[in-house]
Amino acid sequence: MDLEKFKSCIDACNECATYCDYCAASCLQEDDVKAMAECIRLDMQCAQICRLAASFMAQNSEYVKEVCRLCAEICRKCGEECAKHEMDHCQQCAKACMRCAEECQAMA
């Protein structure tokens, strides 16, 4: 197995998951948490699929392409949602999501 071929995508997935966790936790501290509900929901889902994708790549799973394709889709959705909000944590998360979406799409 050549883990190097996955390294850039694994790194992007791990970074995205971390930003999503941070964003969700930060959104919970906002004054209007209800307005952040969709952002929080997508942050949690995105973090989970990113960790799953990184794990599948590390295992050189035969399902890498399918998982990465789904990861790219969820990352894009999460990035679009986060980009709607002005808070710095959302903007940072949006950037990490879009980078991960690009990496995963290339892997798919």
All structural domains of the chain: 4-107 (1.20.1270.360)
Quote helix, strand, coil % in the chain, to nearest 5: 85, 0, 15
Q: How many Å apart are CA 31 and CA 10, to the nearest integer?
A: 34
Q: What is the pLDDT of residues 45-57, one digit of tens each?
A: 999 999 999 999 9
Check pLDDT > 80 for residue 1.
Answer: no
Task: Please state, in angstroms and as integers, the Cα–Cα distance from residue 95 to each residue in 16, 28, 63, 82, following that order.
Answer: 9, 20, 26, 9
Check pLDDT > 60 for residue 73.
Answer: yes
Mean pLDDT of 21-48: 97
Q: What is the mean pLDDT of the chain?
A: 96
Q: What is the pLDDT of residues 60-71, one digit of tens each?
A: 999 999 999 999
